[in-house]
Structure 1
Amino acid sequence: MSDYGYKIPALNDGEVFRNEIVIKKSRFITSAGHTRGVAEAEAFLARIRQEFADARHNCYAFNAGKGNETAFIGCSDDGEPKGTAGRPMLNVLVHSGIGEISIVVTRYFGGILLGTGGLVRAYQDSVKEILTALPLKDPENLEEIRFTADLARMHILEELVRKYGGRVISRDFSGTCCTYTVTADAVKAAFLKKDLERLNQTAQVS
Structure 2
Amino acid sequence: MSYQTPKSAITARLEIKKSAFITYAYPIHSREEAMFHVEQLRSKYPDANHHCSAYIIGDPDNTTSAGFDDDGEPNGTAGRPILNVLQHKSIGNVLIVVVRYFGGIKLGAGGLTRAYAGAAQSAVDAMTLTPYVPMTTRQIQTTFASEAQCRYVVESLGGHIDDVEYTQAVVLHVTLADADIEALKEALGMSGTVLEDDAPDDTAR
State the TM bucket, normalised to the shorter chain.
0.5 to 0.7
Structure 1: distance between partners of 2:134 and 2:68: 27
Distance, in Å, in 1 between the alignment partners of 2:196 and 2:120 is 37
For residues 107-148 of structure 1, the C-alpha deviation after alignment (integer angstroms, 9 at most, x for no partner) is 000011111111000000111111112111112341389xxx
**TM-score w.r.t. structure 2 length?**
0.66
Specify the structure having the higher radius of gyration (Cα): 2
Conservation of the 8 A alpha-carbon contact between 1:6 and 1:98: yes
- TM-score w.r.t. the length of structure 1 is 0.66
Q: Secondary structure at the match of 1:60?
A: strand
Q: Aligned residue pairs: how many? A: 153
Determine what percentage of the aligned residue pairs are the same residue.
39
Could you say what secondary structure the match of 2:64 adopts? helix
Q: Distance in 1 between matches of 2:35 and 2:162?
A: 23
State the partner residue of 1:140: 133
Question: CA deviation digits over 1:16-36, x for unaligned, max 9?
Answer: 310000000000000000001
Q: Which one-letter code corresponds to 2:2 in the other structure?
A: G
Question: Which digits, 9 at most, give the CA deviation of each residue in 1:53-93, with x for residues without a partner?
Answer: 22120000101213334431000100001111011111111
Which stretches of structure 1, 4 residues or longer, exceed 4 Å deviation after superposition? 189-194
Find 2:84's aligned residue among 91, 97, 112: 91
| 1:2-48 Cα shifts (integer Å, max 9, x gaps) | xx52111011xxxx310000000000000000001222222222222
- Distance in structure 2 (CA, Å) of the matches to 1:30 and 1:61: 11
SS at match of 2:92: coil
RMSD value, Cα: 2.7
Contact 2:27 2:94 in 1 (8 A): yes
Instruction: Give the aligned residue type for 1:41.
Output: A
Matches within 5 A, 1:63-78: 63-78=56-71
User: Gapped runs of 5+ residues in structure 2?
Assistant: 139-160, 164-174, 182-193, 200-205
1:164 equivalent in alignment to 2:162: yes
Asked if the contact 2:10/2:126 (under 8 Å) is kept, the reply is no
